[in-house]
């Protein structure tokens, strides 16, 4: 039969219809994409043009390989089938729009079979993927999708279903190969009528054109924006925040030389162009929502909605923004103060996002503006910020008390040493966490390390100030601490607080600390065990005497990448918590939440405490002083009598038991 595109339909020929329909749909698509691009390019500058090797690798593994999408095996597999399917079938557009001239006259004969096979495989994969997705949406609707509009997604899936099914009918009349095109060959054997083929062709074409119209009007705009979004992802360590200003040397501009007019973000155009792309890249998969501790506890933060707010704001105010003016509505008003101040900065949303969307910086940039410019922030933070500014710790204790916990340990204080144990504010002043500091130092001395502490010369790492938005105070602390490190020749630092570990090891590089080696105490303890300088847990205890589970702190596990070391220190644990490792659930203290108040019915630590208590263990090990405090409080609330102990405490406890047994045995002998 004659190709449907070459047939005449009343006064019009087929190719006339194709030109009109395709021209209108593609024209609309291009207009909307260029509009979105113009809105994105209104953003502030952002140097994302380095680390090409890393970018290319992450692009091919993350975008083409869909590695993050596949972390959700069910929904991820459906998406991958459609994604890879469309990549393979895309070239069929050349054949459809040229009445098979592409395959008959342009494509080399030897490639015709493999090409047809690839196209059919693509259609088949997309068909299976969309059918599975439709069944899941309609018959087995996930909890997170209930109560939200599904029309848009269902229409898109029906269009994909239409495109794939009709492709096999159209293919059937072009002598499909039984080897390369088995489905088309099977359909041809059914003998579809000419009218069926013609109708199928035009349904196929109109479905594709409708797809082009809907892409920029829906979440499927990610099909366009995902490419730059993934390629220009942040190659800096996860959770690392950027200085207020960066000099020509690539480092933070010192406070003495700082000359900027505004702080953080208030208007749409103060977000960087890369931050703005996120708004058009979101697929509304709700994975970020699923893992957000603030959302789970009932607070007014939904990371998915934050990203939607960016795009909605831009589209609603497009005439004003493109006209070079600022709408009266600020970004804080759009995203809401409740959402901005509920974030724990645990980065679970960032880690889980298949399109590398950066949720947290949207909120911390707004906090900077609120803290340092508009002065509209939770008043309760005044106490912690004031204490940090005056006493260099959020508790408000005098600096002369910083080393009181170390009495009787015979340790260097304020002297050069191979390793400096950066105690942190919690372990210096919180009675419960002082025991962790004593255990850590005792273990390091047991191993024969040359270790010291800074004592009065140690100041807060600045993490609470930075996460609360007080960037000026953070930089003041960072510069002061760096001066101390340089004066004492500090090269290697051990921290038992993951927040200090992150700030000193990842963020101080911008302030002259790029040569510092910073270790979490669990890393050092595990390494000392390997070197034989400390015993393994099961070597000093014939029986642990405890059933142990382990809570992964966000800034240590997910953000810091330290997951196995704490477990190795304890020679393994008895039961894993349901959410553990990089998927660990936040204790609720991060993002300066430790110094803010929560409603009693919206407490993150209670959610985590319930998960921990369900393990049935009698002890939960931790590797963070804030986690220790929050989890203990949560366990008390849920009525659990589980012990909360740091990994260092547990190992030191066993060594002390061994030594006591040896002494008892010697005395009896």
Please write down the HEC assignment for all residues of 256-268. Answer: HHCCCCCCCCCCH
Query: Is the pLDDT confidence value at 105 over 90?
Result: no
**For the residues 223-248, what does the mean pLDDT come to?**
94
The token pair that represents 335 in the structure block: 């995203």
Angle of helix 647-668 relative to helix 521-530, nearest 10 degrees, comes to 40
| Residue 620 confidence (pLDDT) | 97
Q: What is the pLDDT of residues 379-394, one digit of tens each?
A: 999 999 999 999 999 9
| Residue 175 confidence (pLDDT) | 85
Q: How many angstroms separate the CA atoms of 440 and 652, rounded?
A: 8
Phi/psi at 634 (nearest 5 deg)? -65, -40
Query: Is the pLDDT confidence value at 265 over 80?
Result: yes
| Residue 326 confidence (pLDDT) | 93
**For the residues 391-414, what does the mean pLDDT come to?**
94
Q: Which residues of 296-328 are buried (b: 16+ CB within 10 A; e: fewer)?
A: bbebebbbbbbbebbbebbbebbeebeeeeebe
In degrees to the nearest 10, what's the CA dihedral of 317, 318, 324, 328? 0
Q: How many angstroms separate the CA atoms of 33 and 633, rounded?
A: 50
Phi/psi at 560 (nearest 5 deg)? -90, -15
Closest CA to 69 of 60, 59, 80: 80
Q: Which residues pair with 621 in a beta bridge?
A: 550, 645
Res. 521 pLDDT band, cuts 50 70 90: very high
Tell me if 283 sits within 8 A of 224, measured CB to CB: no
Span(s) in the chain for CATH 1.10.1060.10: 255-374
Instruction: Tell how many helices (H) and how many strands (E) occur in the chain.
Output: 31, 10
| Residue 509 confidence (pLDDT) | 96
Tell me if 287 sits within 8 A of 53, measured CB to CB: no
Hey, how many other C-beta atoms are within 10 angstroms of the C-beta on 444? 23
Tell me if 631 sits within 8 A of 623, measured CB to CB: no
Task: Give 552's contacts (C-beta < 8 A, 6+ positions apart).
Answer: 558, 563, 566, 580, 581, 582, 584, 623
| Residue 660 confidence (pLDDT) | 78
**Pairing of the two strands 419-422 and 492-495:** parallel
Res. 153 pLDDT band, cuts 50 70 90: confident
| Residue 44 confidence (pLDDT) | 95
**For the residues 263-271, what does the mean pLDDT come to?**
96
Phi/psi at 8 (nearest 5 deg)? -105, 135
Q: How many angstroms separate the CA atoms of 321 and 305, rounded?
A: 21
Q: How many angstroms separate the CA atoms of 582 and 561, rounded?
A: 8
Res. 73 pLDDT band, cuts 50 70 90: confident
Share of the chain above pLDDT 70, in %: 98
**For the residues 127-136, what does the mean pLDDT come to?**
91
Closest CA to 524 of 565, 577, 554: 565
Res. 104 pLDDT band, cuts 50 70 90: confident
Give me the DSSP letters along 370-385.
IIIII--S-TTHHHHH
Q: What is the pLDDT of residues 487-503, one digit of tens each?
A: 999 999 999 999 999 99
Q: What is the pLDDT of residues 154-209, one digit of tens each?
A: 888 999 999 999 999 999 988 888 899 999 989 988 988 999 999 999 999 999 99
Tell me if 75 sits within 8 A of 115, measured CB to CB: no
Task: Give 53's contacts (C-beta < 8 A, 6+ positions apart).
Answer: none
| Residue 261 confidence (pLDDT) | 87
Query: Is the pLDDT confidence value at 311 over 80?
Result: yes
Please write down the HEC assignment for all residues of 300-357. Answer: CCCHHHHHHHHHHHHHHCHHHHHCCCCCCCCHHHHHCHHHHHHCCCCCHHHHHCCCCC
Q: What is the pLDDT of residues 328-345, one digit of tens each?
A: 999 999 999 999 999 999
| Residue 146 confidence (pLDDT) | 66
**Pairing of the two strands 517-520 and 643-646:** unpaired
| Architecture of the 381-530 domain | 3-Layer(aba) Sandwich (3.40)
**Pairing of the two strands 643-646 and 619-622:** parallel
Cα end-to-end distance, the chain, whole Å = 104
Residue for token pair 């909120």: 363
Res. 666 pLDDT band, cuts 50 70 90: low
Does the domain at 255-374 match CATH 1.10.1060.10? Answer given as yes
Closest CA to 104 of 178, 164, 174, 52: 174
Tell me if 270 sits within 8 A of 262, measured CB to CB: yes
Res. 669 pLDDT band, cuts 50 70 90: low
Q: Which residues of 518-533 are buried (b: 16+ CB within 10 A; e: fewer)?
A: bbbbbbbbbbbbeeee
Q: How many angstroms separate the CA atoms of 513 and 520, rounded?
A: 16
Res. 573 pLDDT band, cuts 50 70 90: very high
| Residue 546 confidence (pLDDT) | 87
| Residue 452 confidence (pLDDT) | 96
Phi/psi at 568 (nearest 5 deg)? -70, -35
Tell me if 344 sits within 8 A of 236, measured CB to CB: no
Q: 247-251, 340-344, 606-610 — which is least confidently predicted?
A: 247-251
Res. 537 pLDDT band, cuts 50 70 90: confident
Task: Give 76's contacts (C-beta < 8 A, 6+ positions apart).
Answer: 66, 69, 70, 354
Q: How many angstroms separate the CA atoms of 349 and 528, rounded?
A: 34
Hey, how many other C-beta atoms are within 10 angstroms of the C-beta on 442? 18
Does the domain at 4-223 match CATH 1.20.950? Answer given as yes
Query: Is the pLDDT confidence value at 241 over 70?
Result: yes
Task: Give 659's contacts (C-beta < 8 A, 6+ positions apart).
Answer: none
| Residue 372 confidence (pLDDT) | 95
Fold category of 542-660 in CATH: Rossmann fold (3.40.50)
Closest CA to 374 of 231, 267, 491, 228: 267
The token pair that represents 661 in the structure block: 């047994």
Q: What is the pLDDT of residues 204-229, one digit of tens each?
A: 999 999 999 999 988 889 999 999 99
Phi/psi at 493 (nearest 5 deg)? -125, 140
Q: What is the pLDDT of residues 464-476, one digit of tens each?
A: 999 999 999 999 9
Query: Is the pLDDT confidence value at 130 over 80?
Result: yes
Span(s) in the chain for CATH 1.20.950: 4-223
Span(s) in the chain for CATH 3.40.50: 381-530, 542-660
Considering the chain, what is the average pLDDT of its residues?
93
Tell me if 305 sits within 8 A of 334, measured CB to CB: no
Query: Is the pLDDT confidence value at 86 over 60?
Result: yes
Closest CA to 436 of 388, 500, 482: 500
Q: How many angstroms separate the CA atoms of 298 and 601, rounded?
A: 8
Task: Give 101's contacts (C-beta < 8 A, 6+ positions apart).
Answer: 95
């Amino acid at each position: 039969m004659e190709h449907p595109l070459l047939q005449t339909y009343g006064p019009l020929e087929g190719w006339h219809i194709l030109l009109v329909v395709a021209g209108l749909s593609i024209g609309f698509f291009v207009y909307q994409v260029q509009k979105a691009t113009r809105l994105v390019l209104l953003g502030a500058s952002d140097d994302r043009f380095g680390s090409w090797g890393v970018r290319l690798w992450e692009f091919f593994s993350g975008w083409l390989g869909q590695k993050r999408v596949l972390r959700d095996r069910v929904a991820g597999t459906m998406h991958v089938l459609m994604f890879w399917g469309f990549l393979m079938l895309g070239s069929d557009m050349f054949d459809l729009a040229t009445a098979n001239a592409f395959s008959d006259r342009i494509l080399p004969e030897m490639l015709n079979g493999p090409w047809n096979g690839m196209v059919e495989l693509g259609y088949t994969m997309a068909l299976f993927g969309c059918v599975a997705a439709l069944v899941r949406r309609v018959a087995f609707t996930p909890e997170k999708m209930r109560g939200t509009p599904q029309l848009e997604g269902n229409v898109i899936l029906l269009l994909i279903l239409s495109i794939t099914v009709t492709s096999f009918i159209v293919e059937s009349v072009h002598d499909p190969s039984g080897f390369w095109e088995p489905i088309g060959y099977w359909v041809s054997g059914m003998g579809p009528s000419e009218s069926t083929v013609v109708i199928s062709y035009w349904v196929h074409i109109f479905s594709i054109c409708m797809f082009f119209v809907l892409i920029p009007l829906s979440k499927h705009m990610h099909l366009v924006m995902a490419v730059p979004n993934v390629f220009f992802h942040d190659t800096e360590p996860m959770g690392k925040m950027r200085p207020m200003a960066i000099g020509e040397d690539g480092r933070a501009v010192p406070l003495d030389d700082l000359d900027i007019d505004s702080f953080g973000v208030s208007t749409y155009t103060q977000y960087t162009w890369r931050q703005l792309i996120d708004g058009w890249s979101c697929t509304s998969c709700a994975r970020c929502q699923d893992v957000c501790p603030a959302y789970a506890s009932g607070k007014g933060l939904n990371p998915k909605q934050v990203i939607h707010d960016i795009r909605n704001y831009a589209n609603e105010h497009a005439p004003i923004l493109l006209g070079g003016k600022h709408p009266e509505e600020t970004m804080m008003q759009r995203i809401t103060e409740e959402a901005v101040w509920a974030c724990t900065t645990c980065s679970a949303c960032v880690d889980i996002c298949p399109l590398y969307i950066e949720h947290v910086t949207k909120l911390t940039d707004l906090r900077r503006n609120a803290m340092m410019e508009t002065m509209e922030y939770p008043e309760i933070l005044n106490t912690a910020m004031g204490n940090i500014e005056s006493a260099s710790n959020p508790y408000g204790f005098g600096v002369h008390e910083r080393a009181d916990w170390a009495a009787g340990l015979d340790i260097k204080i304020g002297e050069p040493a191979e390793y400096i144990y950066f105690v942190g504010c919690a372990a210096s002043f919180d009675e419960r966490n002082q025991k962790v500091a004593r255990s850590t130092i005792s273990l390091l001395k047991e191993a024969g390390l040359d270790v010291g502490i800074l004592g009065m010369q140690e100041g807060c790492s600045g993490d609470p100030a930075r996460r609360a938005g007080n960037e000026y105070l953070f930089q003041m602390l960072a510069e002061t601490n760096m001066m101390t490190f340089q004066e004492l020749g500090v090269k290697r630092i051990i921290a038992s607080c993951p927040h200090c570990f992150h700030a000193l090891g990842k963020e101080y590089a911008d302030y002259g600390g790029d040569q510092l080696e910073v270790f979490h105490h669990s890393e050092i303890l595990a390494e000392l065990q390997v070197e034989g300088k400390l015993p393994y847990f099961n070597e000093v205890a014939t029986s642990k005497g405890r059933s142990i589970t382990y809570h992964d702190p966000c800034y240590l596990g997910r953000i810091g990448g330290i997951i196995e070391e704490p477990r190795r220190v304890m020679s393994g644990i008895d039961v894993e918590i349901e959410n553990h490792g990089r998927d660990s659930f936040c204790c609720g203290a991060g993002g300066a939440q430790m110094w803010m108040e929560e409603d009693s019915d919206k407490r993150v630590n209670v959610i985590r405490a319930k998960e921990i208590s369900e393990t049935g263990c009698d002890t939960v090990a931790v590797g963070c002083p804030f986690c220790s405090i929050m989890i203990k409080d949560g366990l008390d609330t849920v009525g659990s009598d589980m012990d909360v102990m740091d990994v260092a405490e547990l190992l030191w406890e066993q060594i002390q038991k061994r030594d006591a047994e040896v002494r008892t045995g010697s005395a009896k002998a």
